[in-house]
Amino acid sequence: MSFHESAEDIRVDDNHILRARLRNFDGDFVDAEFNLDEVLGNQEGQIHWDGVNFSQSVDNVEFHIEGGGSVPVLRCFCRTSDGQEFARDVNLAERIKNDNGSFVYRGMSELSLFPHNGCASESGSSSSTAHN
């Protein structure tokens, strides 16, 4: 199940730690955290799954539940090696789930039977406006 559908008090701390109270199988909410730096990367201004340490090269990290579909979106400005910044976003529910009160990441190996389901910036739906 997508983590946000069974969570409360969802937030991102220190630009890379996803925290929430997740519902477990007993119906109780338990504290959980997940280091997004272990699964997200920034490659020349593009945020992507199966990367690492994205928070070291981004600014203005924000997290919100957005839209009618209540999508958990992480937004930031990703820097390139020459210092340009690009507004990017990623739907965290694409790969992060709640398993009995713990965050679980579904990497590419688990998605190999399905069409590409990467970050919004890879699918072309995120903003690519430069910010200097």
pLDDT digits (tens, 9 = 90+) for 6-61: 999 999 999 999 999 999 999 999 999 999 999 999 999 999 999 999 999 999 99
pTM: 0.81
Domain range for 65: 3-131
Query: Read out DSSP for the chain?
Result: -BGGGGEEEEEEETTTEEEEEEE-TTS-EEEEEEEGGGTEEEETTEEEET---GGGGEEEEEEEEETTTTEEEEEEEEEPTTS-EEEEEEEGGGTEEEETTEEEE--GGGGTTS-----HHHHT-S---EE-
Give the CATH number of the domain where residue 54 resides.
2.30.60.10
Residue 107 has pLDDT above 90, yes or no: no
Domain count of the fold of the chain: 1
Confidence of residue 2 (pLDDT cuts 50, 70, 90): confident
